[in-house]
Structure 1
Amino acid sequence: MKYLFFSFFLMSSLLINSQEFPDINLNDIEGKSISVKELADSDDIKIFSFWATWCVPCINELDAIADVYEDWQDETNVELIAISTDDARTKKRVIPLVNGKGWEYQILLDENQDLKRALNINVLPYVVVVKNGEIIHTRTGYTPGSEEELYEVVKEHSK
């Protein structure tokens, strides 16, 4: 029974991690439409970080990564795309927050939560690591130090 459970868990995690990234367009903060599928279809690793202005752990994670992001890019050429899931009521807070934090990430707005729904994301923060259009890692939640574990995943797959 234990082996059956382990096999099921292993197979389901492989299925989740080998999922193809959805073909959805989102707007950036200037209003330009961007295909997330085109962003994901790259030899370089992309980190899609789903967040919201009201989500304190999300902001803490993006702040922690901002401190080391330049080093990550120099070493692995990784790109982080921060996808705001703020809706019509709270999206007006996105640009002032991003500007105040000085984040150097590409910011996309998923205000209808189409991408969030397509990836079956229920809890924020949520991180999806993609290479060549395939999801290679996902993580829900944030605790201090999680960014180092994320970077280990990036380094492992950037070889």
Structure 2
Amino acid sequence: MFCTICKAQQMEVSVLKYEDLEKKIQSEKDKVLVVNFWATTCAPCVKELPHFMEVNNQNSNNSKFKMILVSLDRLVDKERVLKFIKNKNLTAEVVLLDDIKRMNTWIPRFEKEWEGNIPVTIFYKNGEKVYFNDGEMSKEDLEKTITENLQ
């Protein structure tokens, strides 16, 4: 049976540099934006993604909400990222941040407290950073942070 109400999955992943990602975040100024930095090789990242998808699906009809999953996998692993999206049924937008060489430049621009480890989730409201979560995030914390900011 073909599912007509299921959210379509990405067949392609945008490959971005830091500046592109920054522009993308700024273009979602009217929303509560959840930006999760992760990689297919990071066990805690993979472990928390089902919670993120549940919450993303619950909010999929809310025009004031958007989730972006920023993969820090290498560009050569793009196929693996695409397979992962399909196998794990990721419904949020996934982008590949191909900017490893400049990590020390862009990490502190996202968050001074961020030491470069993943997973990391940054919440924006009206283009402003409102919350930074270092490490794995529970479904409850994720829902709570989104709900507080959607008010």
- TM-score w.r.t. length of structure 2: 0.72
Task: Give the letter aligned to residue 142 of structure 1.
Answer: E
Deviations 1:20-47 (A, max 9, x none): xxxxxxxx71558894334333221000
Q: In the aligned structure 1, how far is the partner of 2:98 from the partner of 2:63?
A: 30
Is the Cα contact below 8 Å between 1:125 and 1:142 reproduced in 2? yes
Structure 1, gaps ≥5 residues long: 1-27
Deviations 1:101-154 (A, max 9, x none): 1111111111213544632541100000011221100111115xx121122111
Partner residue of 2:142 out of 131, 134, 150:
150
Structure 2, gaps ≥5 residues long: 1-11
Q: In the aligned structure 1, how far is the partner of 2:51 from the partner of 2:98?
A: 24
* Deviation larger for 58-67 or 129-138: 58-67
RMSD: 2.6
- Over the matched positions of the two proteins, sequence identity in percent amounts to 22
Number of aligned pairs? 130
Is the Cα contact below 8 Å between 2:124 and 2:131 reproduced in 1? yes
Is the Cα contact below 8 Å between 1:72 and 1:151 reproduced in 2? no
SS at match of 1:123: coil
Partner residue of 1:126 out of 120, 123, 135:
120
Deviations 1:63-93 (A, max 9, x none): 1221232213346742110000112343331
Q: Structure 1 residues 118, 89: CA separation in 2 closer, same or farther (over 3 Å shift)? A: farther
* Deviation larger for 46-55 or 74-83: 74-83
SS at match of 1:53: coil
Q: Structure 1 residues 134, 32: CA separation in 2 closer, same or farther (over 3 Å shift)? A: closer
- TM-score w.r.t. length of structure 1: 0.69
